[in-house]
Structure formats: structure tokens, C-alpha cells
Amino acid sequence: MRTCLLPLGITLALMGLTHAFQPWSEHWLIFYRPELPAQVWRFLTASLCHTNTNHLLVNSLGLVIIWLLFKRHFNWLNLTSLLILTSLAVGLTLWLFDPDVVWYVGLSGTLHGLFCYGACKDVECKIRFGWLLCIGVAIKLALEQWGPPQQAMAEMIDANVLVNAHLYGAIAGVAYYFGMRYLTGQKTKLSPD
């Protein structure tokens, strides 16, 4: 459990450092389409950057809350790989499928991936409310895709909320869950009983 705090602490520290060293981090680390794919690290490092202090605090708090909710499902290796792979997946899918997105920062897509992974693990372990978490995040994602824009959050973070990043992160988290089940030879069917 304590070793799981290491990737959590490193992620929070890196987010704080990228924020402290703006505008350098804006110049070198954000998802900025004209620099991609040549500066490939930006697919990963954009998740560590934030538009302002509010954005940083909301994402940091989200990371801690998700870790507290699902810490029983994380060890240092799967938390580290999930953070890295989901962040990369968000950056790559934005680049591939959203050509109008010129720049992107924030951990929210990755947070959606962590949450979906944790919710799937809750269902697998037959933890009460696991299915409700899965249904709840599916409803949230649907509302983001087809509902009104998230104006309050956009004003707080001083940028539009890029809801496709949330969707791509959620898909990456679920894919990671099923990929790990496949690699470990477990059944891939989730059943409600």
C-alpha cells in the first residue's frame, strides 16, 4: 500500500513542478499540434500541465480521491502503468481523432481512465456499488458528449473542457482493465452476480 503512494506522490509533484515553471512547461510540455508527432513526449507530458492553479488543484484533488476510492486495486506497478498508458492514450487519440484540437493540458482524461479501471475492478471483486459507479460514469460521459457545455468548470480552469479527453481516458481505462485480465488469463466476462 505504501509503495503505491510513490507513483501518486511523483505525479502530484510533477504536476506542481510543471505549474511552478510556467511558461517553460507551456513551451515544451503541452499537447501542441504543430509540434506533434515530432516532439512525442508531449503526448504524455500534457497531462501534467494545467491552465491555472484552480485547474491544478481540481485535478490533484481528483487524483487523490480516486486513489482513496480504489486504492485496494492499485499497486505501484499497475498505478504507474495506468497513469502513463492512459495519459499517452488520451494524447494520441486527441491527435488522431480530433484534428481541431490545437492544444490540450490536464489530467482529467487520465482521471477518467483511473476511475473506470477502479469501477471495473469493484465489479470484478463484487464490491457494493461497483455497477452504480460504472453506470454513473457512463451517464456522465454521455451527458458531456450530448448535453450542454460545462460552462462553470470552463470558467474556473480558464479553458474549454475537452470532453473527448474524458471519453478517450475512460475507454483507455476499460481497455487496460480487460487487457490485464487477458494477460493474466482471467475470464473477461463481468457478471452482476
Grade residue 19 by pLDDT with cuts at 50, 70 and 90: very high
AA letter at 161: V
Please determine, for residue 192, whether its predicted confidence score (pLDDT) is greater than 70. no
Q: Where residue 187 falls among pLDDT bands split at 50, 70, 90?
A: low
Residue 190 in any domain: the answer is no
**193 is a domain residue:** no
Omega before 148 cis (within 30°)?
A: no
In a 3-state reduction of DSSP, which class is residue 144?
helix
Instruction: Report how many domains make up the chain.
Output: 1
What's 103's domain CATH number? Answer: 1.20.1540.10
Q: What is the pLDDT of residue 193?
A: 45
pLDDT digits (tens, 9 = 90+) for 134-156: 999 999 999 889 887 777 777 87
* Strand, helix or coil for residue 104: strand
Give me the pLDDT at residue 180, please: 93
Q: Is the pTM of this model over 0.75?
A: yes
- Give me the chain's average pLDDT, please: 91
The Cα–Cα gap between 124 and 127 comes to 8
Whether the bond between 192 and the residue before it is cis, its omega within 30 degrees of 0, is no
Distance set, CA 43 to CA 3, 40, 123 (Å): 26, 6, 31
Range in 107-111, 114-118, 156-160, 185-189 with the lowest mean pLDDT:
185-189
Q: Which domain holds residue 9?
A: 2-183
HSE toward the beta carbon, residue 122, CA cutoff 13 A: 19
Residue 15 CB partners (closer than 8 Å, separation 6+): 48, 49, 50, 56, 59, 60, 107
Asked whether residue 157 is assigned to any structural domain, the reply reads yes
